[in-house]
Copies of this chain bind each other. A is one copy, B any other.
């Protein structure tokens, strides 16, 4: 019979960062000291903290701050090495650093783990101050707008009244777009990669399937699994959800190029994994389990489902009419999950509203993940866009 993926015994019940774990490069910001944080969907959280990281130095007039917003399974560690506290190297390391497109010799780059996340910001794995226990199943659904309001509090605390740029891809692009709609006076330029003005039916479909996979895992226990022993958390459901996502993030051509029909050992007629692409997926599934929390995964997917820049604002056009910053919209031709038609539509809507907007279509086979992979192509386009629209202080005198 088949041998499904076997987890090492040390697989955590939740991959969430917990107080007491190595902090790595994180710092922490308390969003609403002494009062509750109200949520767009109703309800509130008693205590909200954001984990964030910064690179570079804020200049005297706080004019060089760049906010980078992360995607679903990202976190505040956008740049830098992996190591204690950081399961992986920075997810946009090619874009952020000295001499890189977001040049930390010049810019002050900030990235915060989102509200609802699991790498130090308040989320389902956090302790509910009302009970002293992890929120688990009781953690509310937060919206992209809730995430952005929490980030605005962080900006205030850092003394940043306006961002030179707000930059993000996928769910990060949703946040960036909401920044420009919610706080148009605080955003001097906007970079939206592989994102959308509103989640599509296809995106919601995959999100739903991920939820169904996790909730089907009896070890999910309805979301209250934090006291489970290693190996006894919802690793299996989360791994299946991640495998689905991983495939939707890539493309037929990238998979064909990389795996073709290559086999692990030999071509057996068996239900056991035979093909390299199978072991790749198993690996990717368990890799996420080690560094993520199932409840966060479901909540953040739901935040994306609910993303619709027009919600409660009359229409998407009315919402987008608030954007005053110049905008760079980036697409990837092979992205089947956030296909270029979505970014083109966003570009066209902004343009018809009079915004300064540019569009770049990246010719990559890597699908949705290209915004993470193709930094060598995307980076120079971003740098050029920023140089032209928000020249660094003093650059005009050069």
Give A residues with C-beta under 8 Å from B.
1-2, 4-5, 39-42, 137, 140-141, 143, 198-202, 204-206, 208-209, 211-213, 215-218, 222-223, 236-237, 239-240, 243-244, 247, 251-253, 255-256, 258-261, 267-271, 273-275, 277-278, 281-282, 285, 298-299, 302, 305-306, 308, 311, 336, 339, 341
Q: How far is the CA of A273 from the CA of B39 in the complex (A)?
A: 20
Q: How far is the CA of A101 from the CA of B206 in the complex (A)?
A: 36
Contact B41 A247 (CB under 8 A): no
Contact A41 B269 (CB under 8 A): yes
Interface centre among A211, A261, A275, by most chain B C-beta atoms within 10 angstroms, is A261
Chain B residue at smallest Cβ distance from A40: B269
Contact B252 A308 (CB under 8 A): no
Contact B308 A201 (CB under 8 A): no
Q: Which residues of B contact A201 (CB under 8 A)?
A: 252, 255-256, 258-261, 275, 277
Copies in the complex: 2
Contact of A5 among B212, B239, B244 (CB under 8 A): B212
Chain B residue at smallest Cβ distance from A310: B261
Q: Mostly helix, strand, loop or mixed at chain A's interface?
A: helix
Contact of A208 among B41, B198, B273 (CB under 8 A): B273
Q: Contacts A205-B277, A269-B143, A339-B252; is A308 near B261 (CB within 8 Å)?
A: yes
A284 to B: closest C-beta gap in Å: 10
Q: How far is the CA of A285 from the CA of B215 in the complex (A)?
A: 15
Contact B216 A275 (CB under 8 A): no
Q: Which residues of B contact A223 (CB under 8 A)?
A: 1-2
Given A212-B282, A216-B240, A252-B339, 6 more A-B residue pairs with CB atoms under 8 Å apart are A141-B270, A143-B269, A198-B261, A212-B239, A213-B213, A270-B302
Q: Which residues of B contact A244 (CB under 8 A)?
A: 209, 244
